[in-house]
Amino acid sequence: MKEHKFRLWLYAGVGIVLAFFVIFCLNFIFGQVRLRVDATGDKLHTLSPGTKRILGGLDSPVEIRLYVTQDPDRMPPEFKTHVRNVEDMLNEFRAAGKGNVELKKFDPEPDSEAEEAARLDGVEPQPTRTGENFYLGLVVSLDPRKVAIPFLTLEREKLLEYDLARAVTQVLVTNKPVVGVMSPLP
């Protein structure tokens, strides 16, 4: 009987150690593999093939500066989910850019250097119901060119990928075509 209890405890101990070892190994393996799954109904976090082609073809690093208010008291509640969606989309852009999309995030608090940088970059403060300002805008730049999206509105949330891809494309264009009109009129 005593030997039977000993075996039972031994098998239980070995089983627990093996279970922890298997869990540790699986955690390590899946920690190394970056799986991305978009479970949203509208596929908000899945980039289109065109956007992937633009970002995959980048030859020089593009910088995206996100100006977003971090203070939850100054950020309107209806924008909190929108901010998370914007950050998720920017992370998808960075991943698809294969090292050529650099993402920087700034919190433009009142009277700070980040607020001054936001205004110089063309990102506009938005008033809240309480009269305070909050920021939610970004700038895509490839020196010396930059394109600002002064405010990322809720109404254009479904067009966020398009707006970002368009801004990236605009900073990539080095010379704009000139269109001339010829007319017999003096």
Predicted confidence (pLDDT) per residue in 123-167, tens digit:
999 998 888 899 999 999 998 899 999 999 999 999 999 999 999
Residue 43's Cα: distance from chain center in Å? 15
**Can you give the residue ranges of every domain in the chain?**
49-172
Cα–Cα distances in angstroms (integers) from residue 24 to residues 20, 21, 35, in the given order:
6, 5, 18
Name the nearest CA neighbour of 154 among 98, 96, 77, 88. Answer: 77
Classified by CATH at the fold level, domain 49-172 comes out as Glutaredoxin (3.40.30)
pLDDT digits (tens, 9 = 90+) for 99-132: 999 999 999 998 999 999 999 999 999 998 888 8
Name the nearest CA neighbour of 89 among 121, 136, 33. Answer: 136
Indicate yes or no: pTM above 0.85: no
